């Protein structure tokens, strides 16, 4: 019997490049056919063939309340009934902006956009316009969306400027981006000693989630803050993934470090397309119509997306929400680590708030170079074995995972039971 997933993927490849609308969905790194999902509820999703999976992707992070959370769905339905878009201000977007200013450290003003990529792209343009400088610092393995200046890989030396990592990115654009090693304080200090007065900003994932999960060294984040303050550069925390995911005030609240500008997405839209960037008032007032830095968007502050965001942020403000989410996530990572050890598999895992990382190496990595030492073949085998067991993990060894509120004892225990069988398979290969 032909799988509907296979049929859909065959049809999709005829009309969509690679058959998908975002590359990691294609299963290229793990092999096999991507699953086409028809519905979700709570911690589970169902594919086109009707198979159920415990979901640890959660639309790549936004669904902190799980799939089809009733109050969010109801808020979206009510907003849609009044109109899908106006291209004009609404009271709801003011309410959301006020809420973000209240909850996110250092944010005095905020501009709503439609995606995380748009937020980071705009934040970097803002930093350049505010400082009058062109050069930016990013870190290898951190992903900040697909804007030209951010699709850059490291050059041949520790302090060289980057080269394009995507066709279509001009070399002269990449040349303004300095790519350094994540968590390498000495390299960062050397870069500022050499280039500091021409650096507009540092943009950093305070908890890296796009090379799998890599937790920051505190000294590294402190150096980012101190060097930007000393040299008049703008510190941008990319919290598209970590915002309202690792704690009620994001990574800034978790580590007690305030950035100059923060970018947000995912959770603040509750599953709808919504992003934001905000920060110090003096920096934000460089944005048009007040200042010379231009940014605009037809669907920015879309009322349906804003409704989903307000409902989500309201629900996660419940007392104890993040404590319970963190406990569940650590229950998962501790259980997976114990299962791997029992099977004799080289494996480690860690959690930060509602995010987690799985690594087929003895200890969690602290840099992109260490991530690249993970046993990708072992992950790919584990991924497909877990998929067969009805557990949906990110289809790449280089992506973080996400736990949502409806992942309870039943889901965690079922996942760990499946993992024990899958780890045993690895040792029997």
User: Which 3-state string (H, E, C) describes 407-419?
Assistant: CCHHHHHHHHHHH
C-beta of residue 360 within 8 angstroms of C-beta of residue 382? yes
* Run of H or E including 111: strand 109-113
Number of Cα atoms under 13 Å in the Cβ half of residue 296: 9
Query: How far from each other are the two terminal CA atoms of the chain, in whole angstroms?
Result: 28
Measure Cα distances from 41 to 53, 56, 265, 328 in Å.
11, 13, 22, 18
| Catalytic (active-site) positions | 143, 238, 266
**Cα 187–chain centre separation:** 25
Paired tokens of 290: 């007040």
Measure Cα distances from 186 to 180, 200, 203, 277 in Å.
10, 20, 17, 29
Measure Cα distances from 164 to 14, 122, 126, 183, 203 in Å.
29, 20, 22, 22, 17
Give which of 279, 300, 301, 289 is closest to 127, Cα–Cα: 279
Q: Among all chains, which residue has been given the structure tokens 């393995």?
A: 141
């Amino acid at each position: 019997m032909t799988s509907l997933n296979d049929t859909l993927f065959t049809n999709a490849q005829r009309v969509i490049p690679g058959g998908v609308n975002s590359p990691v969905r294609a299963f290229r790194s793990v092999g096999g056919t991507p699953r086409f999902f028809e519905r979700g509820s709570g911690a589970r999703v169902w594919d086109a063939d009707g198979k159920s999976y415990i979901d640890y992707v959660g639309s790549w992070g936004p669904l902190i309340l799980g799939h089809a959370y009733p109050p969010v769905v109801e808020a979206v339905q009510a907003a849609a009934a009044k109109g899908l878009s106006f291209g004009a201000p609404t009271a709801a977007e003011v309410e959301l902006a006020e809420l973000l200013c209240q909850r996110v450290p250092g944010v005095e003003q905020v501009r709503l956009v439609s995606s995380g990529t748009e937020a980071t792209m705009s934040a970097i343009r803002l930093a350049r316009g505010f400082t009058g400088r062109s050069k930016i610092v990013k870190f290898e393995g951190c992903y900040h969306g697909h804007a030209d200046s951010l699709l850059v890989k490291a050059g041949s030396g520790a302090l060289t400027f980057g080269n394009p990592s995507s066709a279509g990115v001009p070399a002269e654009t990449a040349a303004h981006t300095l790519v350094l090693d994540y968590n390498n304080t000495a390299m960062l200090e050397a870069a500022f000693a050499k280039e500091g007065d021409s650096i507009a900003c540092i943009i950093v994932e305070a908890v890296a989630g796009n090379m799998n999960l890599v937790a920051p060294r505190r000294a590294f984040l402190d150096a980012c803050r101190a060097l930007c303050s000393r040299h008049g550069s703008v510190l941008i925390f990319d919290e598209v993934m970590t915002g309202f995911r690792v704690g009620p005030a994001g990574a800034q609240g978790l580590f007690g470090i305030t950035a100059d500008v923060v970018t947000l997405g995912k959770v603040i839209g509750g599953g709808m397309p919504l992003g934001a960037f905000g920060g110090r008032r003096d920096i934000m007032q460089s944005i048009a119509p007040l200042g010379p830095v231009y940014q605009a968007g037809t669907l920015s502050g879309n009322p349906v997306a804003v409704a989903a965001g307000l409902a989500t942020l309201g629900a996660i403000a419940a007392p104890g929400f993040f404590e319970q989410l963190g406990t569940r996530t650590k229950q998962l990572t501790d259980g997976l680590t114990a299962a791997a050890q029992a099977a004799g598999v080289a494996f480690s895992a860690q959690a930060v708030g509602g995010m987690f990382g799985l690594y087929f190496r003895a200890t969690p990595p602290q840099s992109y170079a260490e991530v690249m030492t993970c046993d990708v073949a072992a992950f790919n085998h584990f991924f497909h074995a877990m998929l067969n067991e009805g557990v949906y993990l990110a289809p790449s060894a280089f992506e973080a995972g996400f736990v949502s509120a409806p992942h309870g004892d039943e889901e965690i225990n079922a996942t760990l039971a499946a993992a024990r069988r899958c780890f045993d398979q690895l040792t029997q290969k």
